[in-house]
Each structure stands twice: as C-alpha cells, then as structure tokens.
Amino acid sequence: DAGVIQSPRHEVTEMGQEVTLRCKPISGHNSLFWYRQTMMRGLELLIYFNNNVPIDDSGMPEDRFSAKMPNASFSTLKIQPSEPRDSAVYFCASRRGQGLNYGYTFGSGTRLTVV
C-alpha cells in the first residue's frame, strides 16, 4: 500500500499564477479530504468528497479555490489566481467508509509558497 500520494511536494510560484495540487488516495478509500495547515489557523478542512462527489466545501476560502475528483483515484485542488496569503502546507487525506475508528490517512503534503 503506497499510502496517499501528493504532488508536487514543494511548489513556488509567483502571485497571480495558477497552481494545481494533486492527490491520489489509497485504493478502496471512498472519502477524500483536502486540508490546509498554516501557523495562524492550524489544520483546516477545505473540502470533503464522498464517492467522488463534493459533500462539504464550506471551508474553501473563496472562489479562487476549486477542487475536483474526476474518479476514485485522483483529485486536484486548484488556486487561480494565487496570492501570497495562500502560502501553506496543503494535505490530502483519505478514508474507507464512514467510521472514524482509525481517522484518516494523510499524504505528506504540498508546501506552497506564493511570492
């Protein structure tokens, strides 16, 4: 089991550019989450997919952020246009089923720096 795979690990981009973060969940996991970690706010849920359908996107900061899950094995988080305040570590996580007995499995994260 390769775990949750995120790419890229690091991304440095200029303000105004489009950024796309990618995630491959664990095979068989039907729930996928995007979290953002900042010093000020800690870990915040951005969006939650269940069976590829967005269920809760109330954490998405604004219209510049969008997320898709075209199939069970791939999701993207896009920021367009990016701003310096978007600099953070973005984590993807996946989970099998509805129970939280073992929480989620997180990827290693993408560290985004917008200059």
Q: Give yes or no for a contact between 43 and 36, defined as CB atoms under 8 angstroms apart.
A: yes
Query: Rounded to 5 degrees, what are φ and ψ at 81?
Result: -85, 150
Is 109 one of the binding residues for another protein (CB under 8 A)?
Answer: yes
Hey, which residues between 43 and 102 contact another protein (CB under 8 A)?
A: 43-45, 48, 50, 55-56, 91, 93, 95, 98, 100-102
Is 34 one of the binding residues for another protein (CB under 8 A)?
Answer: no
Q: Give yes or no for a contact between 15 and 84, defined as CB atoms under 8 angstroms apart.
A: yes
Q: What is the binding site for another protein (CB under 8 A)?
A: 4, 31, 42-45, 48, 50, 55-56, 91, 93, 95, 98, 100-109
